[in-house]
């Protein structure tokens, strides 16, 4: 009787079969996890208000001429002798205090403000990598809680440090934690929702990030100081630690590493909340143990990043996916910075650049369950590529704003899609490592994006040409990838290697 039931349930995803497609239990956890994205946006995109463009005047030494000392680093003190400015007076009409005015990050210290942003992005990169490995080794829940606590604590402390060097250290640690929260929370969400809801939830998961981005200019407008802003975005993170009792460990991870009894406890609780027969849990556990679980018990191998490149099909998919992550990171953050160069009110400009993501998010939400992942990714890349390549040859200021906006809108299509695709194409045993590696590639792109954006001083057409070439190549590489829409998640390395081969063979026979 039991063997017959196991065979009948074998084709189904074990998690979905045990706790349903979507229910009250899923919704509570999904909402809790999505709120983590607010502080991710606050911390990751805060630099524009921590170090805003600031006009200054040289206060000492005193100029011996009537020449304006505004934005001057060297002053004529008489007889044509030029001396370095040692004291500055800042324009504080918009911002009463920033890290620029706090630590005189002007003239020969000007690049230190850019260094802070590089450290933040590098910290997110390290966090993606470290916490992805940690989450695949010890589970999803503990690393997530550690990252949330570390993010809040270090972010709050950084608002009170007296030295710039110490500020950079704490911002770096906070960024490491931010990289952990954004990655682990997404993977955990994708592992608890049913196949039918993965696409929709992956898009809705990014909405708090968009709202957090939109809240940044409001928070900065209300505080007008960098330390006030830093405290305001750090305190709410403390309340997220209360989610420890709400967020469970991933049943899929527990099953993948052979911890069947702990997985059963969580599935029983989920089934009870979602009004699923408890018998389904027992059948699902037996199914997993007989069909998949025993393979993990047999293997004592520790999985790491090298497993993504050991087999040819999985290696090709990893390279193509990582390049698309790199393109998204480079173009999204590069174009966001490019939008900041537009003259006008800084609060309005940032709010508009954040609002540009909304249409793309709505389009993705509408299409994600109706159109294949790859088609959306290709369309977003091509929209960005076309608009940016046109931007390289058009100098009209009105069209410049329009084309840059379209380029950012294209990335708002591609970014959530590559998140979802990565969580589906990599097998469970190295899913966090795979998504983490992709996110690392995006961070590398975001680190070099400011340098590409400033190439406009060499030639105005150079930044849009470089930015536009990336999405075009990314779209071409998508044709080498398999579709993951409505597919069961691969569990083992063998599943990951075979995933896509079967689709190719079926396509060939047709």
User: pLDDT confidence of 344, banded at 50, 70, 90?
Assistant: low
The DSSP code for 289 is I
Mean pLDDT (whole number) for 268-288: 80
Summarize pLDDT for 371-411 with one digit per residue, the tens: 888 899 999 999 999 999 998 888 766 677 778 878 888 88
User: pLDDT confidence of 293, banded at 50, 70, 90?
Assistant: very low
Identify whether residues 433 and 448 lie together within a single domain: yes
Identify whether residues 116 and 220 lie together within a single domain: yes
Identify whether residues 193 and 276 lie together within a single domain: no
* Residue 15 included in any domain: no
Mean pLDDT (whole number) for 6-27: 65
Separation CA 223–CA 217 (nearest Å):
10
Identify whether residues 241 and 118 lie together within a single domain: yes
Predicted local confidence at residue 298, as pLDDT: 45
Predicted local confidence at residue 202, as pLDDT: 76
* Residue 14 included in any domain: no
Mean pLDDT (whole number) for 146-175: 91
Nearest to 144 by CA among 259, 230, 32, 255: 32
Mean pLDDT (whole number) for 408-424: 85
Q: Are 417 and 474 in contact (CB under 8 A)?
A: no
Identify whether residues 279 and 428 lie together within a single domain: no
Beta bridge partners of 87: 60
CATH number of the domain to which 403 belongs: 1.20.1250.20
For 449, other C-beta atoms within 10 Å of its C-beta total: 25
Residue 189 makes CB contacts below 8 A (sequence gap 6+) with 29, 30, 33, 34, 201, 202, 205
User: pLDDT confidence of 359, banded at 50, 70, 90?
Assistant: confident
Mean residue pLDDT of the chain comes to 81
Identify whether residues 151 and 167 lie together within a single domain: yes
End-to-end CA distance of the chain: 38
Q: What is the 3-state secondary structure (H, E, C) of 354-415?
A: HHCHHHHHHHHHHHCCCCCHHHHHHHHHHHHHHHHHHHCCCCCHHHHHHHHHHHHHHHHHHH
Identify whether residues 64 and 171 lie together within a single domain: no
Summarize pLDDT for 74-121 with one digit per residue, the tens: 887 777 777 788 888 888 888 898 888 899 888 888 778 778 888 888
Predicted local confidence at residue 275, as pLDDT: 83
* Residue 298 included in any domain: no
* Residue 4 included in any domain: no
Identify whether residues 82 and 106 lie together within a single domain: no
Identify whether residues 323 and 410 lie together within a single domain: yes
Instruction: Give the distance from CA 120 to its chain's centroid.
Output: 13
* Residue 332 included in any domain: yes
Convert 139-152 to b/e letters by CB count within 10 Å (16 or more is b): bbbebbbbbbbbbb
Q: Which range of residues forms the domain containing residue 63?
A: 56-90
Separation CA 320–CA 324 (nearest Å):
6
Is the predicted pLDDT of residue 289 greater than 60, yes or no? yes
- In the chain, the number of structural domains is 4
* Residue 506 included in any domain: no
Is the predicted pLDDT of residue 362 greater than 60, yes or no? yes
Is the predicted pLDDT of residue 4 greater than 60, yes or no? no
Predicted local confidence at residue 397, as pLDDT: 64
User: pLDDT confidence of 13, banded at 50, 70, 90?
Assistant: low
Identify whether residues 144 and 170 lie together within a single domain: yes
Identify whether residues 37 and 73 lie together within a single domain: no
* Residue 11 included in any domain: no
Q: Residue 364 class from Cβ within 10 Å (0-12 exposed, 13-18 middle, 19+ buried)?
A: buried
* Residue 300 included in any domain: no
Convert 324-360 to b/e letters by CB count within 10 Å (16 or more is b): bbbbbbbbbbbbbbbbbeeeeebbebbbbbbebbeeb
User: Percentage of the chain with pLDDT > 90?
Assistant: 12
Identify whether residues 209 and 104 lie together within a single domain: yes
């Amino acid at each position: 009787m039991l063997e017959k039931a196991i065979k009948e349930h074998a084709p189904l995803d074990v998690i979905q079969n045990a706790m349903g497609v979507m229910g009250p239990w899923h919704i509570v956890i999904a909402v809790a996890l999505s709120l983590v994205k607010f502080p991710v946006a606050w911390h990751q995109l805060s630099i524009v208000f921590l170090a805003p463009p600031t006009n200054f005047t040289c206060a000492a030494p005193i100029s011996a001429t009537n020449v304006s000392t505004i934005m001057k680093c060297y002053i004529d003190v008489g007889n044509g002798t030029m001396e370095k400015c040692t004291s500055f007076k800042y324009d504080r009409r918009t911002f009463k205090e920033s890290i620029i005015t706090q630590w005189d990050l002007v003239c020969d210290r000007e690049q230190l403000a850019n260094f802070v942003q590089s450290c933040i992005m590098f910290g997110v990169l390290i966090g993606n990598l470290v916490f992805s490995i940690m989450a695949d080794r010890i589970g999803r829940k503990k690393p997530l809680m550690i990252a949330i606590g570390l993010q809040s604590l270090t972010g709050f402390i950084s608002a009170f440090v007296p030295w710039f060097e110490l500020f950079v250290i704490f911002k770096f640690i906070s960024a490491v934690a931010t990289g952990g929260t954004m990655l682990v929370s997404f993977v955990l969400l994708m592992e608890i929702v049913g196949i039918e809801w993965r696409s929709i939830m992956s898009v809705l998961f990014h909405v708090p990030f968009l709202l957090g981005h939109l809240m940044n200019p409001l928070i900065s407008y209300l505080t007008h100081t960098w330390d006030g802003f830093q405290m305001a975005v750090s305190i709410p993170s403390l309340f997220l630690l209360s989610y420890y009792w709400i967020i469970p460990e991933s049943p899929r991870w527990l099953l993948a590493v052979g911890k069947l009894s702990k997985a059963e406890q969580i599935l029983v609780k989920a089934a009870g909340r979602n009004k699923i027969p408890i018998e389904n849990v027992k059948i699902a556990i037996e199914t997993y143990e007989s069909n998949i679980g025993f393979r993990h018990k047999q293997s004592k191998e520790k999985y790491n990043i090298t497993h993504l490149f050991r087999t040819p099909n999985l290696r090709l998919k990893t390279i193509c996916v990582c390049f698309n992550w790199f393109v998204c990171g480079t173009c999204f953050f590069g174009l966001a910075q490019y939008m900041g160069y537009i003259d006008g009110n800084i609060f309005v400009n940032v709010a508009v650049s954040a609002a540009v993501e909304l249409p793309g998010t709505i389009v993705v939400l509408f299409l994600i369950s109706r159109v294949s992942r790859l088609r959306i990714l290709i369309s977003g890349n091509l929209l960005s590529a076309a608009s940016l390549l046109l931007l390289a040859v058009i100098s009209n200021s009105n069209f410049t704003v329009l084309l840059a906006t379209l380029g950012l809108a294209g990335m708002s299509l591609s970014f959530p899609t590559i998140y979802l695709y990565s969580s589906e194409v990599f097998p469970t045993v190295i899913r966090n490592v795979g998504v983490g590696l992709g996110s690392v590639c995006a961070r590398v792109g975001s680190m070099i994006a400011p340098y590409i954006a400033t190439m406009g001083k060499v030639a105005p057409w150079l930044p849009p040409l470089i930015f536009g070439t990336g999405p075009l190549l990314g779209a071409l590489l998508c044709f080498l990838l398999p579709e993951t829409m409505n597919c069961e998640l691969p569990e083992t390395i063998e599943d990951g290697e075979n995933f896509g081969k079967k689709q190719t063979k079926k396509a060939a026979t047709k």
